[in-house]
Structure 1
Amino acid sequence: MNLLEILAVGVVATAASDIWQQAQRPVTGIPAANWPVTGRWVLGWREGRFYDPMIGSRTRLKGEATVGWLFHYLIGVIYGGIYLYLAYAVFNTLPTLLNGLIFGLITLAAPFLLMKPALGGGLFGLKAPEPRKGLFLSISAHAVFGVGLYVGELLYRGLV
């Protein structure tokens, strides 16, 4: 495992999730994640606002879209590194479609238990205006992220 492998796996997986979010929208009507709002949330940390249920009504900040997208891909790369470490060093196995999918679903802990509550949506986003849509999008996007981890590894190895 090396930095290039981690970057490849994390970026491919995150891009797969983003592509899925755009592809499902015409069928389900569920909008993709709003990364500029995530950027506004991250920028608010400087002022001590980690819990920010009023984030949607706050004034837009300069650079929030860039910060949100960079944060999103940084998290994807970090997850890619954790996934590869677990596969290789802890479980002494190769990345597979199944362990990628399982890891992708495990990453739901962050939005369900941290991000959604911090933004006022409650645990699992159940206090959001349309919690079922949010649950579908989160679960499906993280499942696709997990598949993307495996595809990213295949691409890195030149097997695709």
Structure 2
Amino acid sequence: MSTEASYFLGAAVVGLGATLFMDLWALFLKRVFSIPSANYCMVGRWLRHMLDGTFMHASIAASSQKRLECTVGWVAHYAIGAVFAVTLVVLVSGGWLMRPTLLPAVLFGVGTVLLPFVIMHPSFGLGIAASRIPNPTQARLRSLSAHGIRDRAVCMRGWRELCAAGSCLTKRATGMAFAPRFDLARLNWTRSRR
């Protein structure tokens, strides 16, 4: 496999893992603080209506249900997460996966929140950045939080991949006196002073 292909594959896997982390975070918020999570069935409904030529809705919730809308919505959610991670790697370079930094991930995460704000929300009948709902600020903060969490997870997942590849995190990068190192040859955790 070529280096570029391995970067794309690695980025897609990181994106899937980060999207899972985002969903676990949403589940935590729902269970502990009763904060409702996104309904990806509505994404599936929107996508399924596109096949009929309907892209904009007065209210996506009031639009007719479509067969397999929940499945389509969840698959799209994870596919978009993988595409976002691949796009990030394309923008910052494939080498970023080997030495990820938080700033590009966070900036990209804030940028990705523009897509639901200016495309999905208006298409769902919610207005730009959910301006037509009773509490748009809450919806905006939830979107920013979710995308920020996902892209922090992209960075953390990148660090995990770095450790799994046998490279050591340095004190300069982590601020830790001892940095964990995964030694694939011995298949155990060791501690190395850097």
Q: TM-score, normalised by structure 1?
A: 0.89
1:88-120 deviation line (CA, Å, top 9, x unaligned): 16x9x9421222111111101101111111111
- Mapped to 1, the partners of 2:93 and 2:28 lie a distance apart of 32
Q: Could you tell me how far apart the structure 1 residues matched to 2:99 and 2:121 are?
A: 32
What is the aligned residue count?
159
Q: Does 1:35 align with 2:40?
A: yes
Rg bigger for which structure? 2
Which structure shows the higher strand fraction? 2
Task: Quote how far apart the aligned CAs of 1:27 are.
Answer: 4.7
Equivalent position of 2:139 in the other structure = 134
Deviations 1:7-48 (A, max 9, x none): 221101111211111112245432111001110100000111
Q: 1:125-146 CA distances to partner (integer Å, 9 max, x unpaired)?
A: 1112321221121010011011
Identity of aligned residues (%): 30
Specify which of 51, 54, 57 is matched with residue 56 of structure 2: 51
- Quote the offset at 1:55 in angstroms: 1.4
Q: CA deviation at 1:60?
A: 2.2
User: Unaligned 5+ residue runs, structure 2?
Assistant: 166-179, 181-194
How do residues 27-106 of structure 1 correspond to structure 2 at under 5 angstroms?
27-88=32-93, 94-106=99-111
Aligned counterparts of 1:155 and 1:62: Cα–Cα separation in 2 = 38
Amino acid at match of 1:80: A
Which stretch of structure 1 is more off in the superposition, 64-73 or 10-19? 10-19
TM-score by length of 2: 0.74
Q: Which residue of 2 aligns with 1:6?
A: 11
Amino acid of the structure 1 residue aligned with 2:15: G
How well do the aligned residues superpose, as a CA RMSD in angstroms?
A: 2.2
| Greater share of residues in helix | 1
Deviates more, 1:55-64 or 1:103-112: 55-64
> What is residue 152 of structure 2 aligned with on the other side?
147
2 CA distance for matches of 1:136 and 1:28? 15
The answer as to whether partners of 1:11 and 1:77 remain within 8 angstroms in 2 is yes
Write out the 4+ residue segments of structure 1 that deviate beyond 4 Å after TM superposition. Answer: none
Structure 1 residue matching 2:151: 3-state secondary structure: helix
Q: Is the 8 A contact 1:39 1:69 kept in 2?
A: yes
Are the structure 2 counterparts of residues 119 and 36 from structure 1 closer, same or farther at C-alpha, using a change threshold of 3 Å?
A: same
